[in-house]
Amino acid sequence: MSSLAEVAPGAQPDAKAVNKFDPHRNGGVDLQPGIAAPSHAEYARTLVEQSGRATLSTIARDPSGYPFGSLVTYAPDDTGAPWMLISSMAEHTQNALVDMRASIMIAEQAVGDVDPLSLGRVSLIGVLVCDDPTTAMCDSFVERHPGAKVYLDFSDFSWWRLEVVVVRYVGGFGRMSWVDLGDYSNARPDPIAPSAVDICAHMNADHAEAQLALLKHFNARPDLIRAVMTSVDRFGCEFTSETPNGSLALRLAFPKPVNSSGEVRQTLISMLREAQL
Amino acid sequence: MSSLAEVAPGAQPDAKAVNKFDPHRNGGVDLQPGIAAPSHAEYARTLVEQSGRATLSTIARDPSGYPFGSLVTYAPDDTGAPWMLISSMAEHTQNALVDMRASIMIAEQAVGDVDPLSLGRVSLIGVLVCDDPTTAMCDSFVERHPGAKVYLDFSDFSWWRLEVVVVRYVGGFGRMSWVDLGDYSNARPDPIAPSAVDICAHMNADHAEAQLALLKHFNARPDLIRAVMTSVDRFGCEFTSETPNGSLALRLAFPKPVNSSGEVRQTLISMLREAQL
């Protein structure tokens, strides 16, 4: 048996089945001790890297002192600080010119009809600084937001960076923490994230029986009726499953971390072979 | 010819082709004078009604005074004020207990790979009030958020309403206004909104030629190469179209307002018949 990890509220991992490899956690509160999963710093960094669309909260000029939420697009730099290209005519820019305190909230995009509160989100709190991006930063922004090419040279648009002071991560119900800023800045986005949605869709559409067999075997749940893969990272996959007694969130841990979607595939195939022996 | 409406930046409607019926505008700055379209108050109210997921901005306790963005689910009451069921343990709730000033930002969900800045969003600014919902309000919330049934009776969850003071609507590039609060509260959500995504998908998949023919005829654009329906409301449909000289946003106005997806269908069929005469 490889490893067992139930993430249902109150569930405890089977001690004998806990992963032995070092998950390289680098901070954050871990509500599933001993289970290999990205740290909250890594989850936060991955989410910031994967998105590009956020809510910017500034302090309004009018009505004075009220927090004001608005939509922005951004691209993160190497430290995970988001950069924005915004118009001086926009409310948030005018607000920032008076009070630089701000935060950026990035939420995981829902695929299908899931409760948004069960998904990840990160709030980066800091100060907005009008700054010149490097050429690489500018290119990275335009690559993410090709529409920005149109207003890149407009005289009323300028570059702003959120200098992050505090990081709050919420991974869903009951999984949350204040993330150490150094851990956040040093964390690397999960290498599987860019293909995670496709992997989940492919597994759920074409390999529903196989993933059910994996969970029955490695998570010791022969009672499972159905399992839907909801996420995958370099340490494993998560599922929403059905049992005769209701639904259950499960985490299937890989025997060792993977670095590409190809390695996810190879790992799942070899785990399936082991499960069917 | 029925009516012509180009919503490309700087485009002016052909005076002779402007709709004659009263679009019942009830406030908001109209950047396309004379073109039948929902008012900004109606767009805002429709967006608040259609969503259920928002960013709540509060004033943080720590770091003190910084705006703090977090994810919430909500349901609007009859006046368009959002109600939330939130845990006293959540940061935003603790913030609200110290400073009730807040805002809620709701963004139109992107279907496919569109620039999020081209879509609608609304910021409702006001104060958070802990309040008892009516039974109807509570039922409406649970209907939107079935997951809330689980924590409905948890002792640490309570109901909060955003008492709206100011409404800011942004409909995309260059379409924005401060919406009169009375207009917002009295506006009715667009009756086509619940089926708009399905209508667009159906038209784009199965009637691409027909909608191109409609635009060529009614919008006097025989040069159009392709048109993708991006939205529909009771006054008409909007398209992203391609011409030999680049892309163009177009609005096709209905001869009179419609009240259901069935009426959209009937109207488009009868307009197509007219276009092909």
Dmax (CA) for chain B in angstroms is: 68
The answer to whether B214 and B5 are in contact (CB under 8 A) is no
- CA–CA separation, A170 vs A238, rounded Å? 17
Residue B56: list chain A partners with CB under 8 A: 69
Can you name the residues that pair with B228 across neighbouring β-strands? B240
- CA–CA separation, A60 vs B103, rounded Å? 10
Put simply, whether B63 touches A (Cβ < 8 Å) is yes
Contact assignment for B55 to A59 by CB distance below 8 Å: no
What pLDDT is stored for residue B29 in this prediction? Answer: 31
Q: Is the pLDDT of residue B26 over 50?
A: no
Quote the Cα angle for B32-B36-B183, to 5°: 85
pLDDT of B140-196, one tens digit each?
999 999 999 988 999 999 999 999 999 999 998 778 999 999 999 999 999 999 999
- CA–CA separation, B210 vs B212, rounded Å? 5
Put simply, whether A85 touches B (Cβ < 8 Å) is no
Contact assignment for B103 to A145 by CB distance below 8 Å: no
- CA–CA separation, B136 vs B154, rounded Å? 20
Q: What number is the average pLDDT over the span B68-97?
A: 97
Contacts of B164 (CB under 8 A, 6+ apart): B79, B80, B81, B124, B125, B126, B181, B184, B185
Provide φ and ψ at B134, rounded to 5°: -70, 165
| Tokens 């759920």, residue located | A204
Distances (CA, A) of B105 to A199, B68, B118, B120: 32, 12, 16, 11
Band of pLDDT at residue B57, cut at 50, 70 and 90 = very high
Residue B55: list chain A partners with CB under 8 A: 55, 57, 69, 105, 107
The A residues from 158 to 197 touching B (CB cutoff 8 Å) are: 165-166, 168, 170
Report helix, strand or coil for A23: coil
| The token pair that represents A273 in the structure block | 């072979």
CA nearest to B228, candidates B253, B244, B199, B204: B204
The rounded average pLDDT for each run of 10 residues, N- to C-terminus, in chain A (277 residues) is 33 30 30 72 97 97 97 98 96 98 94 83 98 97 94 94 98 89 97 96 96 94 93 93 89 95 97 92
- CA–CA separation, B96 vs A72, rounded Å? 24
Chain mean position to CA A268: 22
CA nearest to B275, candidates B210, B227, B226, B228: B210
Burial-class residue B241 by CB neighbours within 10 Å (0-12, 13-18, 19+): buried
CA nearest to A47, candidates A179, A244, A199: A179
Provide φ and ψ at A260, rounded to 5°: -155, 165
Band of pLDDT at residue B95, cut at 50, 70 and 90 = very high
Other C-beta atoms lying within 10 Å of the C-beta of residue A234? 24
Strands (E), chain A: 5-6, 53-59, 67-73, 75-76, 82-87, 101-107, 121-130, 157-172, 175-179, 226-233, 236-243, 246-253
Residue B57: list chain A partners with CB under 8 A: 55, 57, 67-69, 103
To the nearest whole Å, the CA of A182 is away from the closest chain B CA by: 17
What pLDDT is stored for residue A9 in this prediction? Answer: 34
pTM for this structure? Answer: 0.85
- CA–CA separation, B9 vs B19, rounded Å? 20
Contact assignment for B57 to A57 by CB distance below 8 Å: yes
The answer to whether A248 and A189 are in contact (CB under 8 A) is no
- Amino acid in position B122: V
DSSP state of A106: E
* Measured distance between the N- and C-terminal CA atoms of chain A, rounded to whole angstroms: 11
Nearest to B101 among A66, A115, A125 (CB): A66
pLDDT of B100-114, one tens digit each?
999 999 999 877 778
Contact assignment for B68 to A53 by CB distance below 8 Å: no
Identify which has the larger pLDDT, B26 or A202. Answer: A202
Quote the Cα angle for A86-A187-A131, to 5°: 25
Contact assignment for A59 to B67 by CB distance below 8 Å: yes
DSSP string, B121-151: EEEEEEEEEE-PPPHHHHHHHHHH-GGGGGT
Contacts of B200 (CB under 8 A, 6+ apart): B111, B229, B230, B231, B232
Strands (E), chain B: 5-6, 53-59, 67-73, 75-76, 82-87, 101-107, 121-130, 157-172, 175-179, 226-233, 236-243, 246-253
DSSP state of B277: -
Nearest to A57 among B65, B67, B121 (CB): B67
Residue A115: list chain B partners with CB under 8 A: 73, 145, 147
Contact assignment for B67 to A55 by CB distance below 8 Å: no
Q: Locate the chain B residue with the closest alpha carbon to A95.
A: B67
Contact assignment for B103 to A68 by CB distance below 8 Å: yes
Nearest to B55 among A105, A125, A166 (CB): A105
The answer to whether A127 and A102 are in contact (CB under 8 A) is yes
| The token pair that represents B201 in the structure block | 């998908």
Q: What number is the average pLDDT over the span B91-107?
A: 98
- For residue A63, whether the previous peptide bond is cis, meaning omega lies within 30 degrees of 0, is yes
What pLDDT is stored for residue A34 in this prediction? Answer: 60
- CA–CA separation, B111 vs B161, rounded Å? 29
Contact assignment for A102 to B67 by CB distance below 8 Å: yes
